[in-house]
Amino acid sequence: MTFNLEHTTNQPIILPKNKGVELHVKREDKIHSFVSGNKYRKLKYNLIEAQNKGFKTLLTFGGAYSNHIAAVASAGEMLGFKTIGVIRGEELESKVSDNATLSFAKQSGMRFKFVSREDFKNKISKTFISNLKEEFGAFYLIPEGGTNALAIKGCEEILSGLDKEFDYICTSVGTGGTISGLINCSKPSQQVLGFPALKGDFLQQDISKFVTKTNWKLITDYHFGGYAKINKALISFINDFKTDYQIPLDPIYTGKMMFGIFDLIEKGFFLRGSKILAIHTGGLQGISGMNAVLKKKNLQIIE
């Protein structure tokens, strides 16, 4: 596979001296345009497992703008798997060509099954899965968002030995798989901070199941109203950040995290003299989908 793992270097962000902290961004977004950041990490051992077990087909679940759907479609095509995406929302079936993520997945060979929101909620029930097997034959199942034990194992490879010097490791949180891997490979003296991109009281518990350390915390003030919810302040922040530091951020995950980190720096949350590492988990394929929505509403778009 052609993945640029040597590009995941830590890029320093030049902050004014009086802020009293150092900030670096780990450019996991550069791994691949579509199998980017944490989605590469989460798929790696799952794809090896699927190959080892002789599966020819991958099946997974996601919404209309899902980075995970794009990643599975793209990685599947590269490795010669057939891919099936079970997509939330029957109404999307006739709108694939208007949706950048689904169009990309389709071009990469993914077959879709569009289901109602109700069916999507029950997607891991035995009946639903056995119906899928009847329809599509044998498949290797990857959960929504890609989080399972093998995904966490992959995310334990995000930090390298050199990252020991950081006091804080920051990441965006969706299902909690990525932060679990980071916690597992952090030093006990490091603080791992998660910035959930959605409202979800279940996250604390979900993460606790995958980790044994306690050096972590969820910062729940920066979800902007919920998953895929955004506002003008966030769009401006993302555009300014790109102008100032030449780093693109996505509106659903990494933009919210970085907005939170800057706000916390401003508020003096981090100990003076500390070094912060923010993981850029990727997700840039989602920008064009969000821009289509913003354009329809006549709002400022992401540059």
Give yes or no for residue 177 binding ligand PLP (CB under 6 A): yes
Of the candidates 36, 66, 108, 172, the residue annotated as catalytic is 66
Residue span 8-37 as binding mask against ligand PLP, x where in contact by CB under 6 A, dash where not:
-----------------------------x
Identify residues 68-87 at the interface with ligand PLP (CB under 6 A): 68
Quick one: 253 or 259, whose CB is closer to ligand PLP? 253
Give Cβ neighbours of residue 69 (< 8 Å, ≥ 6 apart). 60, 62, 63, 85, 87, 101, 102, 105, 110
Q: Please return the burial class of 196, using the count of CB atoms within 10 Å of its CB with bins 0-12, 13-18 and 19+.
A: buried
Asked whether the beta carbons of 29 and 282 are under 8 A apart, the reply is yes
Quick one: 124 or 271, whose CB is closer to ligand PLP? 124
- The residue sitting closest to ligand PLP, measured at its beta carbon, is 283
Q: What are phi and psi of 13, to 5 degrees?
A: -105, 120
Q: Which of 178, 186, 190, 291 binds ligand PLP (CB under 6 A)?
A: 178
Give yes or no for residue 60 binding ligand PLP (CB under 6 A): no
Give yes or no for residue 154 binding ligand PLP (CB under 6 A): no
| Total interface residues for ligand PLP by CB under 6 A | 20
Asked whether the beta carbons of 105 and 129 are under 8 A apart, the reply is no
Amino acid type, 214: T
Quick one: 84 or 279, whose CB is closer to ligand PLP? 279
In DSSP terms, 191 is beta-bridged to 168
Give yes or no for residue 176 binding ligand PLP (CB under 6 A): yes
Q: How far apart are CA 20 and CA 292, in angstroms?
A: 39
End-to-end C-alpha distance for the chain, whole angstroms: 30
Cα separations in angstroms, 102 against 28, 36, 62, 64, 110: 23, 16, 10, 7, 9
Q: Which of 219, 250, 256, 276 binds ligand PLP (CB under 6 A)?
A: 250
CB 121 to ligand PLP: min, Å: 18
Catalytic residue status for 66 = yes
Rg (CA), the chain: 19
Quick one: 147 or 186, whose CB is closer to ligand PLP? 147
Q: Which of 10, 60, 67, 101 binds ligand PLP (CB under 6 A)?
A: 67
Interface ranges with ligand PLP (CB under 6 A)? 37-39, 67-68, 145, 147, 172-178, 250, 253-254, 281-283
